[in-house]
Structure 1
Amino acid sequence: MHEKSLRRSATSILASVLTTAMPVAVVGCGTETERSSTPSQVSAALNDLVRSGLPGVQAVISGPDGEQTHSAGVADVGSGAPYLDGSHIRIGSATKTFVATVVLQLAAQGAIELDTPIGHYLPGVVSGNGNDGGRITVRQLLQHTSGLPDFAPEDVVHKQPQQLDQTSDGTAYRDLTPADMVGIAMTMPPQFEPGARFEYTNTNYVLLGMLIEHVTGHRLDAEIRSCILDPLALRDTYFPAPGDTGLRDPHPHGYSNIDGAWVDVTTMEAAWAGAAGAMISTGSDLNWFATALITGKLLPPDQLTQMQQTTPMAPGTGTNYGLGLIGFQIPCDTQEKHVWGHTGGIPGFSTVLIATSTGTAATISVNTEQLNSQFSTAITTIICSIA
């Protein structure tokens, strides 16, 4: 496959929706807590979002008082079928928080040193055109401060829909390995000196997936399952297998707006995206994961503290990046509220995951990756109503 084609497709498949305007061993933490009621503001925000032109949206709110799901719009533009409770969604870059959690678990066990260069673990992988794995630490990969080029370098968030190959089903890229994707990145020079600043780069997490497999001797999906999914009983969260182009039922159809029409892009090969954004989950499972993480059930205190040490993503946006975790600072009436989480975008789906230290969490999903300004307003409303 021609290198330019690989880059273009990687961009459309792994677009990360970073909504900057929005604001002791603990393994085996499957013990359940009660799950929160959804305030009326959430329902109103979702209805406003659908009225703004998006096909369908769902918010799952969990907390000490229980769990509720609110949906608006449709899961199927053709039939008008509703967005069902328990819907499976492609979570895109929210996958990165799972990957970072496993890396930090391995750090807690002494299997990985965060301030050791990636070249120590994966010699010769990061090299060429000024890229030097001997100067880039694991921590810098986790925090997107490595300076490495992105194998999907175009800024897709701000491009017009017709400029993107959004009808691609991804099957042409089924044989891409993580090493192939890193190899594409190594044909380009670094973006900046390691540690100089933040720049969101999918290559970082492809390398972290390779690191996990190298250190453990296990496949990435198997390691995430044994370290996170099984202990928390997250039975609806998984990596799609190569050749699996669908989602488990129930699920909404995913859409891209092309020339003013919603085009169904649900059927897609996504397994090759791996650590950068391949996972599928549900709002309930994502909330359960985020709550366990932020309340200290998945990481010892030292590793969780390091995960929450952040660097600004962009000046004045209130979004700061930790180690695979975003801190959102949201102005809410008389006070500013702080929540943790991540965002994800992949053709047909957008996801925002947020959680608080008090045990409240929310996942908001939309069945298109093409959002509008009303989306930021809706997210702010939901955070302010639950945090």
Structure 2
Amino acid sequence: MRRTPSRRLFAAAILVASVLAPMGAVPATAGTAGTAASLAVGDRHDQDGHQAGGFSRAMTARLDKAVEKVRREANIPGVAVGLWMPGKGRYVRASGVADTTTGQPMSTDLYTRIGSETKTFTVTALLKLVDDGRIRLDDPISRYVRGVPNGHRITLRHLAEMRSGLFPYTEDPDFVRDLLSDPGRSFGQREVLAYGFKHRNTFAPGKQFQYCNSNLVLLGLVIEKVTGHRVADVIHKRVLHPAHLDHTLFPSGPEFPEPHARGYTNQTLSGKVEDSTDWNPSWAGAAGAMISNMHDLRRWAKTVATGTLLSPETQKQRLRMLPTGHPGTSYGLGIFKSGGWIGHNGSIPGYESVTVYLPSQKATLVLLLNTDITHDGQEPSSLVARAITEIVTPKNVYDRPVPPR
């Protein structure tokens, strides 16, 4: 019997307690078996065997082998890896294919859909308003948005911490059917919230952690209410511009800048693998619709983890990590910590990403994949991140738990 894909629609959900659709095989082509290729860092080595600006030849080979092993075992079409460790080296490589039909090689200079990494941008925009004195984190959501179940008790802080108790709209069967029946459809933000608001809240505000995209859609509406501008415009002006992120955008529909990889998902009504590249991400909105590339995400990883756009007090509140119920992983205000790495992952049908920063070593890791199809119940991006960090930071392994079946 086939399982519903409903709770996987945002496998970006760092720790979604989910019912997982069965994994489908990615269509194989002659290009799928391509070996790792360095695209942003040359393969030149000095007389001591160190790659120019990179790790030693031996370390590079270990990483190549580990990434390729996971890519093949998990049937990942293509993966791009960016790892920067000041004083130790860097590793910027791509392997596999960006297009399973043409065999076009994967590259490190592609745009990609970043799914729930969008949350780090939305919450940063919200926290800028906190610094401006225009909102307070302990304001109830009912002050800004009407009709939220128990909204007089749910605060903006609860929403950003994933502790609101609201039912996630992406888990509503009607929403899943409506989206997957017409992936090109445009959804309004209040429209998607209505799917979740049909259900009773799952717990009292602040009592526990539950990953819920309704929370971030609501915070997007708060930003719009307070500023009088679209959340996409506020993020561009208040976050992307000052952070110098020139290749990051919040699309209004299915537009997708070139170059980009084709994306592959089995979150379909039939359960078969489909090309989801041009699906409309409007349903994800402030919770997961954004697009970026490796260059910008590298810069963003340190910016969001160290709080250079925020006041020290606000950043301190952001990094107040609370238990998620899963050992080794905690969640703050639109940001998580896993094995000491701070940042967020993203997943939207056809694409996954990880952007994290390790303060103790000032290290940055960015992963871009063109599939979200799980392998043995685990997101492919987590498998790649774990394999890499086991090698380069064995005391700080990125290790998100396997979601329950």
The one-letter code matched in structure 1 to 2:324 is M
Give the equivalent residue in structure 2 for 1:275: 286
Identify the match of residue 261 of structure 2 among 234, 247, 252.
252
TM-score (norm. length: structure 2): 0.77
State the alpha-carbon separation in 1 of the partners of residues 251 and 6 from structure 2: 17
Against the structure 1 CA distance between its residues 69 and 20, is the aligned structure 2 distance closer, same or farther, given a 3 Å change threshold?
Answer: farther
Deviations 1:90-112 (A, max 9, x none): 11111001111111111112111
1:56 lines up with 2:78 in the alignment: yes
Give the equivalent residue in structure 2 for 1:341: 343
Identify the match of residue 336 of structure 2 among 326, 330, 336.
326
Deviations 1:347-377 (A, max 9, x none): 1001111112253211112111113258444
Give the equivalent residue in structure 2 for 1:134: 152
Q: CA deviation at 1:42?
A: 3.1
SS of match in other structure, 2:170: coil
Give the equivalent residue in structure 2 for 1:32: none
1:304 lines up with 2:315 in the alignment: yes
Identify the match of residue 374 of structure 2 among 366, 371, 376.
371
Deviations 1:213-234 (A, max 9, x none): 1111111111111112111221
Identify the match of residue 171 of structure 1 among 169, 184, 188.
184
Give the equivalent residue in structure 2 for 1:355: 357
Q: CA deviation at 1:18?
A: 2.2
Identify the match of residue 144 of structure 1 among 162, 170, 177.
162
Q: Contact (CA 8 Å) 1:91, 1:344: kept in 2 or not?
A: yes
The one-letter code matched in structure 2 to 1:144 is M
Against the structure 1 CA distance between its residues 371 and 189, is the aligned structure 2 distance closer, same or farther, given a 3 Å change threshold?
Answer: same
SS of match in other structure, 2:239: helix
**After the TM superposition, which residues 93-112 of structure 1 pair with which residues of structure 2 at under 5 Å, given as runs?**
93-112=116-135
Deviations 1:48-91 (A, max 9, x none): 12221221111122354686421111111111111112111111
**After the TM superposition, which residues 178-197 of structure 1 pair with which residues of structure 2 at under 5 Å, given as runs?**
178-197=189-208
Q: CA deviation at 1:19?
A: 5.9
Give the equivalent residue in structure 1 for 2:300: 289
Give the equivalent residue in structure 1 for 2:389: 383
Q: Contact (CA 8 Å) 1:118, 1:136: kept in 2 or not?
A: yes
State the alpha-carbon separation in 2 of the partners of residues 17 and 323 from structure 1: 14
State the alpha-carbon separation in 1 of the partners of residues 119 and 261 from structure 2: 23
State the alpha-carbon separation in 1 of the partners of residues 368 and 276 from structure 2: 16
Deviations 1:105-155 (A, max 9, x none): 111121111111111222x231xxxx2111001100000100011111269
The one-letter code matched in structure 1 to 2:183 is G
Q: CA deviation at 1:191?
A: 0.4
State the alpha-carbon separation in 2 of the partners of residues 359 and 17 from structure 1: 25
State the alpha-carbon separation in 1 of the partners of residues 355 and 325 from structure 2: 19
SS of match in other structure, 2:256: coil
State the alpha-carbon separation in 2 of the partners of residues 70 and 350 from structure 1: 16
Q: Contact (CA 8 Å) 2:347, 2:372: kept in 1 or not?
A: yes
The one-letter code matched in structure 2 to 1:252 is A
Identity of aligned residues (%): 34
Q: CA deviation at 1:212?
A: 0.6
In the alignment, structure 1 segments of 5+ residues that lack a partner are: 1-7, 22-35, 156-162, 330-337
1:85 lines up with 2:114 in the alignment: no
Give the equivalent residue in structure 2 for 1:18: 14
Point out the more displaced range, 217-226 or 180-189: 180-189
Give the equivalent residue in structure 2 for 1:219: 230
Aligned length: 341
1:313 lines up with 2:309 in the alignment: no
**After the TM superposition, which residues 147-166 of structure 1 pair with which residues of structure 2 at under 5 Å, given as runs?**
147-153=165-171
State the alpha-carbon separation in 2 of the partners of residues 370 and 164 from structure 1: 19
Against the structure 1 CA distance between its residues 79 and 164, is the aligned structure 2 distance closer, same or farther, given a 3 Å change threshold?
Answer: farther
The one-letter code matched in structure 1 to 2:342 is W
Q: Contact (CA 8 Å) 1:238, 1:281: kept in 2 or not?
A: yes
Q: Contact (CA 8 Å) 2:115, 2:348: kept in 1 or not?
A: yes
RMSD, aligned α-carbons: 2.7
Against the structure 1 CA distance between its residues 101 and 273, is the aligned structure 2 distance closer, same or farther, given a 3 Å change threshold?
Answer: same
1:208 lines up with 2:219 in the alignment: yes
Against the structure 1 CA distance between its residues 350 and 154, is the aligned structure 2 distance closer, same or farther, given a 3 Å change threshold?
Answer: farther
State the alpha-carbon separation in 2 of the partners of residues 44 and 165 from structure 1: 42
Q: Contact (CA 8 Å) 1:147, 1:193: kept in 2 or not?
A: yes
Q: Which has the higher contact order (CA 8 A, sep 6+)?
A: 1
State the alpha-carbon separation in 1 of the partners of residues 107 and 179 from structure 2: 25
Give the equivalent residue in structure 1 for 2:141: 118
Q: Contact (CA 8 Å) 2:120, 2:335: kept in 1 or not?
A: yes
Give the equivalent residue in structure 1 for 2:42: none
State the alpha-carbon separation in 2 of the partners of residues 148 and 351 from structure 1: 26
